[in-house]
Amino acid sequence: MHDERRRIEERVERLQNQRIKPAIYAATVPFEVTAWQAPGEPVSFDEAAAAPYEPFAMGTPWGPPWGTTWFRMRGVVPAEFAGRRVEAVIDLGFVGDWPGNQAEALVHLTDGTPLKAVNPLNQYVRIADPATGGEQIDYLVEAASNPDILADNFSKTTLLGDVLTAGDQPIYTFKRADIAVLDENVWHLDLDIEVLRELMVELGEHDPRRHEIAHALDRAMDLLDLDDIAGSAAAVREALAPVLAKPAHASAHVISGVGHAHIDSAWLWPIRETKRKTSRTFSNATSLAEEYDEFIFACSQAQQYEWVRDNYPKVWARIQESVKKGQWAPVGGMWVEADGNLPGGEAVARQFIHGKRFFIEHFGIETKGVWLPDSFGYNAAYPQLAKLAGNDWFLTQKISWNQTNKFPHHTFWWEGIDGTRIFTHFPPVDTYNARFSGAEMSRAVRNYQEKGAATRSLAPFGWGDGGGGPTREIMERARRLKDLEGSPKVEVEHPDAFFAKARAEYEDAPVWVGELYLELHRATYTSQARTKQGNRRSEHKLREAELWATTAALHAPGYSYPHKHLDRLWKTVLLHQFHDILPGSSIAWVHREAEAEYARVAEELEALTAEAVAALGGGGTRVFNTSPFDRAEVVRGPGGDPVYVEVPANGSAPLEDARPDEPVTVTGRVLDNGLVRVEVAEDGTLTSVRDLRAGREVLAGTGNLLRLHTDLPNYWDAWDVDKHYKNRYTDLLDADSVTVVDTDPLLGSIKVTRSFGQGSTLTQTITVRAGSPRIDFETDIDWHEAEKFLKAGFPVDIRAPHSSAEIAYGHVQRATHTNTSWEAARFEVSGHRWVHLAEPGYGVAVINDSTYGHDVTRTVREDGGTTTSVHLSLVRAPRIPDPGADQGRHRFTYSLLPGAGIEDAVAEGYALNLPLRVADAAGAPQPVVSVDGEGVTVEAVKLADDASGDVVVRLYESGGGRARGVLRTGFPLAGAEITDLLERPLEPAEFDARTGVPVELRPFQVLTLRLRRGAGS
């Protein structure tokens, strides 16, 4: 037989695209359309319904960037459409090949009831099935003219990313608004052909099934009457039925399809637009559920549900009904799909607490899995925190984007830093926007790493980010692929069902230990520094407000714990931890608003803390320590003078000068406090840091070397830093001035100012304080660079086989060598408050108050010694998607801590991020809780969320070893129990009303205690 594949494939493709698809809608009549351009921000339905509308013709430009145009569409179903399925078909002028991030609309009835959204690949609204003819149609369509930020594939900068700079010229041209008859025979024929054609081209050249499908399609096309597509469609379908009916092989891979619409809570649009995107997509999902009984829609992010509940109550009611029917699956159990690296441990816990509680309260459903398909790597505390929140499984997708190494598993047990394991799956389809194309199905099978041991994977299907979610076409594909020879089998089902089946067949899945590091998007640890600083400050201010509010609630008569206020502020911070806000990868509008929100949060938290402290009584001056460690350090009193104070952990002390053993001396450019001696060069760098306690030089080169790198990644400017950034740089060695500014016995400071680049300036105050080996670098930058990356380097004389960096509730170790491609790929990594380097007997920590990115390298010197260098990533200057990213003022502090063990790094990390508070207060009560025993660290102190008055304390082991201690209370203790993160009891805790609660923790274990107050508290 001759090989006629090319002829057949080209024939089928042309007939499908040029004859069959145009015949899907058999007859159309246009709507009568009028329009009203809403001024400024979006308006309510009632305001839009009362607005004056003007005639509007198809082919007319409409919609300035970020504008809202309301269209009124009126019409009557013609009598000749009776007995057929009739739909409204609306094309707003969709552009490009991405169904999200462009124009979209929500169609309402005149009473305000949302019907369904209109999106690029989902342009219809059902009118009647079957129609009777004569139906009166009157729609109000809220159309958003969101600009296509990706129009140039991220190759050009754009001012469209902020309403303040986007302009006011129309950017879309309305193409179509019709009442149309859907010819269901032709529509189904199109889908039959598409599924078979896509399957055919994925099969092997010598696969008999490929040739069988080709010849079946060829014969079927002979039956297609080109002059009467509709009339011949049924015969063509009948001819194709046998080849569509052949069952899949017994060993065929099984794909669990889960309806999904990945909607970024902000990204290339502002938060206000996400509120509308969710309503549109959720309207589509509930509408689709009415047509397909087997449809299951999995949706995460409690925040998005809350937006719909508050702004679109009728859509919310439909969601609740779909949940009851089992067609809507709340998943994820987090407030938002947060960044996986940057949020602190307590913030990750609160993501689960607030997310899971929302679903329990509103749907009576406790979610069982973590749904995080699109975060940029995942810290190794997740398994424990997920399990403590009651989760059994974890799903993500993004690791498939690795730049260098292919992750070796798709289904596995993920083991966290404490030893907790959670069953985890990476869909081998390599997308969270699947549509069941032949290419996707083939890729899922080909890509699947567990062949021979397991047989199933998951595929989230549907268009995201405003694309409208799952479509009827995708559901029809799933039906045809349910049991089709040559293809994997597709089952549409709840993700819980998939994970139960996957675990049952693969209980002995392999284990991956430690972080899930994404070998891409490494610049998200640094981009948009003010957003990151806002998060860090907010997390610590929330801790502070909760601690002192708890103290006041226990000891200040008449004080009321601000449950609702703190709840609202936590949710604001959690929202901004979304994986395109906190990482710095959103448009200018998003980050402008984020900075304003963080400022508001800081102001409100400052007021809450001040109110709580004031409630404890005035009449003196005290120092308040929110850190879980005792502190002896220099603080400035009300008049600005430095005072050396000693303050207990989680407690307070009078502002009394305790005078350390050694004063600070400043001789020339040398700072000395008897613990460390710091020599500052003429150019403002450090030439020596001498640890006087250990009798050793810390530096093995120029210290605090500021290096300005050229930074143009291959793609995704705000997301990526590629390895070649290291090859071109300028060291900032020209100082405008180096001046001694403080010579007090309690502190000595030298100020260094620099000018560089395109008008940027940098001022650093290098400070040594009495009683502390910590050297602070208070930094003020006015930054005006473009496509640059600023780092601060500390080469230390330590042979460290690995670095340790703080993460959520613990730390991870990373090799300092590059023996394998896995280590080499970690050329930029994340950490929280500190990174630590050590050799047996000696260590050094670099601490920060707002940055996350860093790198660690090592070299061997000619004298045989080893230099291990830490380079903190301070600020970047990407231009896409925000051309003004990071421009302007930045203020932050980082520190060098010589002679530090891990416990010192932990304590000083807290200290730098939780400054001592000086306030008017008289005698203060004992700390709410205190701990006897090393390694047991108090992370959160608060009142229970159920307003019972119980005290909730979250502890963890912070050093990486076993810890034992006793938790003592500053109030009468009547009972104690161990709870999960949601403060639900797990088991009673041993306690003694006089001595407290004994605590024993394994390495990095997180423990939540609920303490019942006794009489008199």
Distance CA 265, CA 396 (A): 17
Side-chain-side CA neighbours of 711 within 13 Å: the count stands at: 28
Report the largest interatomic distance among the alpha carbons of the chain, rounded to a whole angstrom: 102
Query: Is 717 designated active site?
Result: no
Quote the crossing angle between the two packed helices 472-480 and 184-202, to the nearest 10°. Answer: 60
The CA dihedral of 341, 512, 464, 288, to the nearest 10 degrees, is: -130
Host H or E run for residue 87: strand 85-91
Distance CA 401, CA 702 (A): 37
Look at the block and give the residue holding tokens 């799909």.
337
Q: Is residue 232 exposed (0-12), middle (13-18) or buried (19+ Cβ within 10 Å)?
A: middle
Tell me if 320 sits within 8 A of 326, measured CB to CB.
no
Q: Is residue 712 exposed (0-12), middle (13-18) or buried (19+ Cβ within 10 Å)?
A: middle
Q: Is residue 206 exposed (0-12), middle (13-18) or buried (19+ Cβ within 10 Å)?
A: exposed
Tell me if 348 sits within 8 A of 808, measured CB to CB.
yes
Long-range contacts of 134-137 (CB under 8 A, 24+ apart): 134/76, 134/77, 134/79, 135/76, 135/77, 135/86, 136/76, 137/31, 137/73, 137/74, 137/75, 137/76, 137/77, 137/88, 137/179
Closest by Cα among 814, 964, 834 to 893: 834
Q: What are phi and psi of 302, to 5 degrees?
A: -55, -35
Look at the block and give the residue holding tokens 């995942």.
378
Distance CA 20, CA 515 (A): 50
DSSP β-bridge partners for residue 992: 996
Distance CA 375, CA 426 (A): 13
Tell me if 488 sits within 8 A of 447, measured CB to CB.
no
User: Would you list the DSSP string of 641-652?
Assistant: -EEEEEE-TT-E
Distance CA 686, CA 844 (A): 16
Tell me if 415 sits within 8 A of 387, measured CB to CB.
no
Tell me if 113 sits within 8 A of 83, measured CB to CB.
no
Instruction: Provide the 8-state DSSP code for 127.
Output: E
Distance CA 196, CA 218 (A): 12
The sign of the CA dihedral 942, 946, 947, 949 is negative
The one catalytic residue in 91, 374, 392, 483 is 374
User: Would you list the DSSP string of 995-1017?
Assistant: TBEEEEE-TT-EEEEEEEE-TT-
User: Would you list the DSSP string of 909-975?
Assistant: HHHHHS--EEEE-SS-PPPSEEEESTTEEEEEEEE-TTSS--EEEEEEE-SSS-EEEEEEESS-EEE
Host H or E run for residue 591: helix 588-615
Q: How many residues are listed for the chain in this entry? A: 1017
Look at the block and give the residue holding tokens 């997310």.
355
Q: In angstroms, what CA-CA distances link 892 with 532, 763, 847, 850?
A: 11, 11, 11, 7
Distance CA 726, CA 668 (A): 35
Positions annotated as catalytic residues are 374
